[in-house]
Structure 1
Amino acid sequence: MGHVCPSDNKDITDQSSFWDSGNINWDPHRIGWAIAGGCSLLTVIFTTISVLQHCRNYRVPNEQRQIIRILYMPPVYAIISFFSYRFFRDYTYYELIEVAYEAVTISAFLLLLIEYVAATAAGHNAETAIERKNKRPLPFPLCFWRYRPTKAYFMYTLKWSVLQYVIFRPLISIIGIVCQHFNVLCSSASFSPFFANVYLEAVDFVSISVALYGLIVFYALTSEELKGKRPLAKFLAIKLIVMATFYQSFVFSALEGRVIKASLYWTETNIADGLTALTICIEMVFFSLFMWWAYPPSEYKVKGAPATSIWRPLWDSINYTDFVIEIIGSFRFFVDYVRGKPHAHGNRIAGAPGAPAKLDFGEAFGVSGAYSKPIDRDVGGESALVNNGRMRASYDEDIRLAPYEAPRYRQEASEDTSYSSPTREHQVRR
């Protein structure tokens, strides 16, 4: 006998409309509908103001494009939660779409931290930055395992540990939507081995755990460089949204059949899902304000400087070329690592046979090019961020998070190999 997932919806539906005989039919469901819509609208307004302020002061594109992506999180959650409340019979579909954006924000946060760390090399020799990172233990619970940041594979592994989530989370959502369509997902039976939900949740748990651990490793490694950037506040602005949505969904589900009772048109699951969606809409108002504070546009304002166009920042924020470059670059490196290529093993130290030249701190994190000087607000009318006299370009103009490329080698008379680069030649001359 096959296992059948019980329906989350009643067979009969409410035939009345929001406007009933010229008057609003103020039953509890419609009151919640109005609150969810009003809160979603407030969230959109607050986020729009914050985003437009960044767009009008778009001085550091590589940082601000990631910030704008992160700022989108509250309105994305609020709008989708409103629709999941309004069209509650399709709640599962909306929920699967909603959580997929979490992967975007976490990946954007990593790339933002990389930009912050790279900027600390301004004004001094960036080649020594990696050298001061000594061998150290991994954070809890893998503190028994020590790692060396100068290893060739380390930075690619760290970036991949986070960016893999931007692949797996949308893929999990797509598979979940298909399973829901064929009634084999059964999210109400979370731990049943006869339905797909338990397996998708397991994969998601592993993927998000690896991504968050990668962020923790990165922060522990670069905490000195990130001072003054409030990385914890910025991270909490993201993670608290995820935690709030997860735990309140768990609480409302636990109340089904105990405190939450079915009504004429709504099952216990419908009501629990509706309460979850409603609370998300309300919370996103406060989270949009929190993100406005955690990612202040004032950091990029320059007195006397003209406002920048809003169209390029908006395009940059939805153009995910940088994600693709990072993912493909890391994948190519690991292919070379498996194939035993010399440059993919050992330390990334100049002079080692078969090893590329020693990379500076930014290059080790996938950031190429000269570092930018910090904003000088005392110089009126000048560009806010200068990169060797030039304003730092966005990815479309000058891809700064460069993809991984296998180095070229030249055969010496002694059959030793060495990697030729401007950095290496500079060291030889010196």
Structure 2
Amino acid sequence: MLKPEITCPTTPGLSTGGLYPGLDWSYVKSNPTENWHVVGWLVCLAMIFVTWIVTLTVVVKHLRNYYEPQIQRHKLRVLLFPPVYATLAWFAYLRFDYSTTIMFFAVVFEAFAVFNLFTTLQAYLKPFRIEAGDMKEPVDTKIMFIFKCHLPSKWGMHYRIITDILVFQYPIWALLDSFMSIFAELKGRYCEGIYSFKGAYVYLTIINFTSLSIILTALFTYLDVFHPEWVRGKVKAHGMFWCVKGPIMFNFYFGEILLSILATTGVIKGTDGTNGSIAWSVEAVKNGIYIIIICSVMMIDSFMMLRFFGPGDNIQNAASTGQTKKMTPWRAFVDGYLAYIPEFLHNCLCCGVDSYKLMKKRKALRKKKKLEAVNSNNPTDHLLSEEGEKNNNNNNTSYRMNELGEHTSV
């Protein structure tokens, strides 16, 4: 058995030495326990096949029953998250030497899935926003079920924009993180799975943990604040949330952090290749286990999405309102997928514009409060009030003296 190889920095370049499963079936048949990487590779392939079948079934059903494009376009985009992510992870299993580069695209797709989860919830909430109008509805909630928070109005611009910022920071950071990881890998300074402060991996992991915690806090609060609306609209908001964030949390906490700790402490060990077709380092073994976890989680997630992201509620809404008009499957495909990138850029731009408006509004409010505070504590006003009170006292005294003089003369 090989000892854990903890070295940082590493050899510069995207390739880490050409490690990938050798498919020597004679060794697999004679020593299956020593060739688990090949068996795991095939098991992952089978799970990906099931994931794609389940996902495509739901997608086709959406395309044939495209009654509510303002909602269903976001559902269609989220549905591709499990199969695409698992497929890219499987390629990273097959070619561990380029796993960092391959998983860059997986992380990008994950970021888009989070964005579309939030836009799906916003689409369901839009009729209630129109109904509320300019109404101010205060709400008391708890952040992460611990810290109490009072919102002057859950329909106000402040809470909406702040939530947008807290949610959008995660996909934006995920994109930046992926670019930085590839750049660091090219320089030999990424050091994946090694908790050494000489490499970028430990710093990016800390920032990822912080970013993930922020978006979880924002979405948990968002779900709680609008809970009455989810109940009224029969929206499966919590199920949708866990379909997207559940796999991300599980893969990050158990698949990335826990496995990295086990590899660093020597619990996960490499193989020397004496009873197998290829020698695997500790990092390669950890990566294989990580990919198996990803494919298993994504297969389960595809069945969850069959329930929570299916078109059932959209079909029921169309039937209850007597709507018979729907898009053709091709137009639905164009609306759901081909128009995605322009819409994403437009929403990010709108978030930036709204954030600027919010900043100006908050600045104006602070200026107004400051002027009110200055006016209330103006020393001139204080002197004028004292002088006025003094004049009033003098007038009262003169009036009383006059009354006393008249009374004496009588």
TM-score normalised to structure 2 length: 0.72
* Aligned pairs for 1:122-137 within 5 A: 125-127=131-133, 130-131=135-136, 133-137=137-141
Residues in 2 aligned to 1:171 and 1:11: alpha-carbon distance in whole angstroms = 26
Unaligned runs of 5+ in 1: 347-430
State the distance in 2 between where 1:242 and 1:248 align: 10
Task: For 2:284, give the aligned amino acid.
Answer: N
Deviation at 1:156, TM superposition (A): 1.4
Q: Is the 8 A contact 2:61 2:311 kept in 1?
A: yes
SS in 2 for 1:242: helix
Aligned partner letter, 1:39: M
- What code does the residue aligned with 2:220 have? I
Q: Which of 330, 333, 343 is 1:311 aligned to?
A: 330
Structure 1 match to 2:166: 161
The structural deviation recorded for 1:275 is 1.4
Change in CA separation of 1:50 and 1:15 when aligned onto 2, cut-off 3 Å: closer
Query: Is 1:79 aligned to 2:87, yes or no?
Result: yes
User: How many Å apart are 1:151 and its aligned residue?
Assistant: 4.7
Which residue pairs with 1:295 in the alignment? 309
2:224 is equivalent to residue 197 of structure 1 = no
| 1:43–1:284 contact (8 Å) kept in structure 2 | yes
Q: Check if 1:323 corresponds to 2:329.
A: no
Aligned to 1:229: 235
Match of 2:270 in 1: 261
Task: Report the Cα offset of residue 343 of structure 1.
Answer: 10
Say if 1:100 and 1:170, in contact at 8 Å, map to a contact too.
Answer: yes
Letter in 2 for 1:248: G
Distance 2:18 2:358 in 1: 59
Could you tell me whether the CA contact under 8 Å between 1:336 and 1:344 is conserved in 2? no
> What pairs with 1:48-197 in structure 2 (closer than 5 Å)?
48-120=56-128, 125-127=131-133, 130-131=135-136, 133-140=137-144, 143-149=147-153, 151-190=156-195, 192-197=196-201
Q: CA deviation at 1:14?
A: 7.3
- The share of aligned pairs that are identical, in percent, is 22
Alpha-carbon distance between aligned partners in 1 of 2:208 and 2:181, rounded to the nearest angstrom: 11
When structure 1 is superposed on structure 2, of 157-166 and 78-87 the one drifting more is 157-166
User: Does the Cα contact within 8 Å between 1:184 and 1:196 map onto a contact in 2?
Assistant: yes
* Distance change in 2, residues 1:252/1:13 (3 Å): closer
Assess if the C-alpha contact under 8 Å between 2:256 and 2:290 holds in 1. Answer: yes
Deviates more, 1:73-82 or 1:257-266: 257-266
197-206 or 178-187, which deviates more: 197-206
Which string of whole-angstrom CA distances, capped at 9 and with x for unpartnered residues, describes residues 293-326 of structure 1? 1122222235694774223333333313333233
Change (3 A) 1:312 1:202: farther
Q: Distance in 2 between matches of 1:215 and 1:229?
A: 15
Return the alpha-carbon distance in structure 1 between the equivalents of residues 19 and 176 of structure 2.
Answer: 32
Residues 46-55 or 101-110, more deviating: 101-110
2:354 alignment partner in structure 1: 333
Q: TM-score, normalised by structure 1?
A: 0.69
Question: In the superposition, relative to structure 1, how do residues 34 and 137 fare at CA in structure 2: closer, same or farther (>3 Å)?
Answer: closer
Distance 1:9 1:174, change over 3 A: closer
What's the CA shift string for 1:45-100, capped at 9, x where partnerless? 11011111111111111111111111111101210111011112222222333223
Q: Give the letter for the 2:187 counterpart.
A: F
Q: More relative contact order in 1 or in 2 (CA 8 Å, sep 6+)? A: 2
Task: Give the AA of the match of 1:196.
Answer: A
Alignment equivalent of 1:244, drawn from 234, 246, 250: 250
Q: Is the 8 A contact 1:151 1:345 kept in 2?
A: no
Secondary structure at 2:198 match in 1 = coil
Q: Contact 1:103/1:165 (CA < 8 Å) preserved in 2?
A: yes
Tell me which amino acid in the other structure corresponds to 2:269: I
Bigger helix share: 2
Report deviation, 1:117: 1.7
After superposition, the C-alpha distances for 1:102-157 in whole angstroms (9 at most, x for unaligned) are 221222111111121223478xx5436x43x2153552477355332255433112
Counterpart of 1:361? Answer: none
Corresponding residue pairs, total: 337
> 1:47 maps to what in 2?
55
Q: CA distance change for structure 1 residues 30 and 47 in 2, over 3 Å: closer, same or farther?
A: same
2:104 alignment partner AA: L
Cα 1:65–1:148 change in 2 (3 A) is same
Tell me the residue number matched to 2:370: none
1:37 corresponds in structure 2 to: 45
Match of 1:277 in 2: 291
